[in-house]
Structure 1
């Protein structure tokens, strides 16, 4: 079998590594120049994009911001999974909100803003504490602004004055006093079979995911079932095929959907060593029409992103249950360079291992690590 992935970053690389034992060959497309490349070495392959699409059994994406003309060409083959409609939902928050509202899936109260004057109305209807998100091309904290009170509004309007909001609207949300951020990774195949992973708890810093812990602590069967039901409603409603990530706010016993990611996701990387079947393998299984794998957790796991640095000791691999995944990128501020997975058999031991891990890392780049180690150790 052969799968072509639009995008040539670390997610395509990890799909390649997951596909090899299954006999699934994965090729990647550098969407900046429409070149077919090897997902690990990034070396151009001796095949054109048209030839790659013709020879593929399935086409998929590693990120949602693939140029639409490429997605349209992929759709014509009948091999693109998930569908172009599902991918575009992840690329456009206006579409995303419309989907959630149409399916009656709980999410943050919001307004769509195409003119700055509408922000005054947003304050009247949603309150003074607001978060503003660009409807397109915003990720890892980029394209977001916050309003703490109405006295800040004039300054905020000046900051937004150069934006073309008619072309790229803002989604303005009521700031939700949530308890924590969770995510659910789930997968649905072409036969309609669905599996979901245990909820993961996500810790962010400056808009970027730094640490995920899965299964999330203090999750009862009822909360996991609510998350599963949300996934099923969304996946079946979109006739979705592949892995879908659902980012959630927990507010007491309720869950609000924050964002959707129509692809394998950073908060599911823990599954590489912490679940019976990784999200990458299950995505390939789903789009290739194979039976889905067991999504059960092997034990408590943590995923720690390596962001903006490359100077750390590989001796961290001396910690039992630790695994390093390096992406081979040049260093840049706020760039995800790799991640570390740690898996063990109790949350207390997980906290101890995260504390041990801190001895090998420059902690200025890992601001959430020590606090989470202490929390888990109790």
Structure 2
């Protein structure tokens, strides 16, 4: 079986590696050069994109910002999963908000802005503490601005005045005092089978994910059921096929959808070592019409996992592999500020044991590039 992935980054690479074990051949489209490449070596492969589409049993994406002309070509083949409409929802916050409203799924109060003169009305309607997001091309904290008090509004309007907001509107959200950030990763297959992973608890720094822990601490059946109900309503409402990531804010007992990602997701990388079937394998299974694999934690209900992102550095020590249950995944990229260079998965039999392993891991990593790890490891180590 054969899959063509649009995008040639680390997510396509990890799909290739999991697909190889199943005898699934995965190739990638470098959307910057419009060429077909090997997902690991990045070597250019013979043939055009059109020929690769004919070759493939299924087409999919590793990120949502694929040029629309390529998406249209893929959609016309009838093989693109998830479909173009779902991919575009992940690429455009306005479409995303419209979907959430149509499906009556709770999310942050918001307004759409196409002119900076509308911002004072946003303050009037939503309050003076706002998160302003570009509706397209924003990720990892880019394309976002904050308003902390009304006095800052004139300066913010001036800062945004040069943007073409008719072309790329802003989504202005009320800044909420949420308790924590969660995500639910799951998959829906061609035949409608749905499988979800345990809720993950996510720790961000400067707009980027640094640490995920799964299952999330202090979870309960009611919280998990609410998250799963949201996921099911989304995938059925979109007739979605593949892995979908739903990022959530927890406010007390309420869950609000923050963002959707129509693909395998950073907060699901822990599944490589911690789950019976990784998100990458399940995505391939879903788009090819195969039965989905089990999503529970290896080691049973008490087992826990963490994923630690390696961002903007390559100064980790390979001696960290001496820690039992620690797995390194390196992407083979050149170092760049805020660039995701790789990640570390850690598995343990309890939160306390996980915290102790993360404390040991901290000894091999600089606090400059891993600022969240010391406090998070201490928090987990204290859970009884």
TM-score tier by shorter-chain length is over 0.9
Aligned to 1:102: 102
Distance 2:364 2:285 in 1: 36
1:252 equivalent to 2:252? Answer: yes
* 1:142 shift after superposition: 0.2
In structure 2, stretches of 5+ residues that fail to align are none
Aligned to 1:183: 183
Aligned to 1:261: 261
* 1:47 shift after superposition: 2.1
Aligned to 1:69: 69
SS in 2 for 1:117: helix
TM-score in terms of structure 1 length: 1.00
Aligned to 1:368: 372
For each residue in 1:51-87, what CA deviation from the matched residue of structure 2 results, as whole angstroms up to 9, or x when unmatched?
Answer: 1100100000000000000000001111000000000
Aligned to 1:340: 344
Aligned to 1:297: 297
1:357 equivalent to 2:361? Answer: yes
1:323 equivalent to 2:323? Answer: no
SS in 1 for 2:368: helix
For each residue in 1:251-275, what CA deviation from the matched residue of structure 2 results, as whole angstroms up to 9, or x when unmatched?
Answer: 1111000000000000000000010
Distance 2:193 2:315 in 1: 43
* 1:176 shift after superposition: 1.1
Distance 1:340 1:284 in 2: 23
For each residue in 1:169-228, what CA deviation from the matched residue of structure 2 results, as whole angstroms up to 9, or x when unmatched?
Answer: 000000111000000001000000001100000000000000000000000011001000
Moved over 4 A (4+): none
TM-score in terms of structure 2 length: 0.98
Aligned to 1:161: 161
In structure 1, stretches of 5+ residues that fail to align are none
What is the aligned-residue RMSD (CA, Å)?
A: 0.5
Aligned to 1:306: 310
Aligned residues: 378
For each residue in 1:260-313, what CA deviation from the matched residue of structure 2 results, as whole angstroms up to 9, or x when unmatched?
Answer: 000000000000001010000000000000000000012200000000001111
Aligned to 1:210: 210
Distance 1:40 1:112 in 2: 40
